[in-house]
Copies of this chain bind each other. A is one copy, B any other.
């Protein structure tokens, strides 16, 4: 019988779980629906139950369980192992997640926020494999981030390091972020951000464009439409995508200057637009990076997709034990 780790990626719709070897091989992967009814009070018990069943089903011995790691939405206190303000789980008040796991299993439990575990997963087994200093920028509805320094997550004083989405990349723009500030990366270079940019560009020009026409006939103005129009040669859309990439490149330049990583990883739904975007962001990143360190960090696309979280959650256990 060999040792194993369990990684959990808790999400608002499903909770993904996996049994892994300490070396990062997934032995079994499954998911259960996340029951957010009754203030989400069944979420953790359901996960615990499911893990116990899986251990039984796979004929694993609990004595060989090295530990359990978990990623969660909301504000995670990784020391107290509590979560608060995870609204998509209906966890508005503080949840003592660590205590529930410690009562259920006689093994170390670790928890961190979902952006951090995705970064740790990619650093361990994905696009950052073999690199000790890695930053992940996750482009979705917002922009999330996670920073790995010497193989460990960077938390800062209050656990808020890596708020990459709120780096202000354009202090002079009138585009406002949901946080209240103007010019945050997330307000300009996320799925929401590119729509903000598109609205602004369309307002400010009279030039005909495929994008404008598409919106006028009723297509929803979203990231996909803008990228598609840019891809098919629409000049206005290309300008929007270019500006989007310029903001991302500037932020990546900041990350390089401050952290000197060897990999910056672009992940999330928007990053799936792929190589064209990566190359454009990279060209701006190089332009905005101190020449002496320009060849230090490579910009790469994430490779683990939705599995980044379970890998990262499992890796938390390793880092916790070796701390």
B290 touches A181 (CB 8 A): yes
What count of chain A residues pass the 8 Å CB interface test?
A: 44
With the chains together, A166 CA to B162 CA distance in Å? 19
Q: Knowing A156-B133, A157-B131, A288-B168 are in contact, say whether A254-B260 is a contact too (CB < 8 A).
A: no
**Residues 164 to 201 of chain A near chain B (Cβ within 8 Å):** 164, 166-168, 171, 179-181, 184
A163 touches B290 (CB 8 A): yes
Q: Knowing A163-B260, A253-B168 are in contact, say whether A157-B179 is a contact too (CB < 8 A).
A: no
Residues of B within 8 A of A155 (CB): 260
Output the least CB separation between A31 and chain B (Å): 30
With the chains together, A250 CA to B290 CA distance in Å? 18
A293 touches B258 (CB 8 A): no
Instruction: Output the nearest chain B residue to A132 by Cβ-Cβ distance.
Output: B157
Q: Knowing A149-B149, A161-B260 are in contact, say whether A290-B254 is a contact too (CB < 8 A).
A: no
Residues of B within 8 A of A62 (CB): none
Interface residues, chain A, with chain B CB atoms under 8 Å away: 131-133, 147, 149, 154-164, 166-168, 171, 179-181, 184, 246, 250, 253-255, 257-262, 287-293, 296-297
Instruction: Output the nearest chain B residue to A284 by Cβ-Cβ distance.
Output: B171
| Neighbour of A166 across the interface among B131, B133, B161, B290, CB < 8 A | B290
A164 touches B258 (CB 8 A): yes
B258 touches A291 (CB 8 A): no
Instruction: Kindly report how many copies of this chain are found in the complex they form together.
Output: 2
| Neighbour of A167 across the interface among B157, B166, B257, CB < 8 A | B257
B257 touches A258 (CB 8 A): no
Residues of B within 8 A of A149 (CB): 149, 154, 156
With the chains together, A234 CA to B206 CA distance in Å? 43
Instruction: Output the nearest chain B residue to A177 by Cβ-Cβ distance.
Output: B290
Instruction: Output the nearest chain B residue to A186 by Cβ-Cβ distance.
Output: B290
With the chains together, A254 CA to B181 CA distance in Å? 13
Instruction: Output the nearest chain B residue to A287 by Cβ-Cβ distance.
Output: B181
With the chains together, A254 CA to B260 CA distance in Å? 15
Q: Knowing A166-B290, A179-B292 are in contact, say whether A157-B261 is a contact too (CB < 8 A).
A: yes
Q: Knowing A149-B149, A291-B180 are in contact, say whether A166-B262 is a contact too (CB < 8 A).
A: no
With the chains together, A295 CA to B155 CA distance in Å? 16
| Neighbour of A258 across the interface among B132, B158, B163, B290, CB < 8 A | B163
Output the least CB separation between A138 and chain B (Å): 15
B291 touches A163 (CB 8 A): no
7 closest A-B pairs by beta carbon, nearest first, are: A156-B260, A166-B290, A161-B260, A157-B262, A160-B260, A163-B257, A133-B157
With the chains together, A184 CA to B147 CA distance in Å? 23
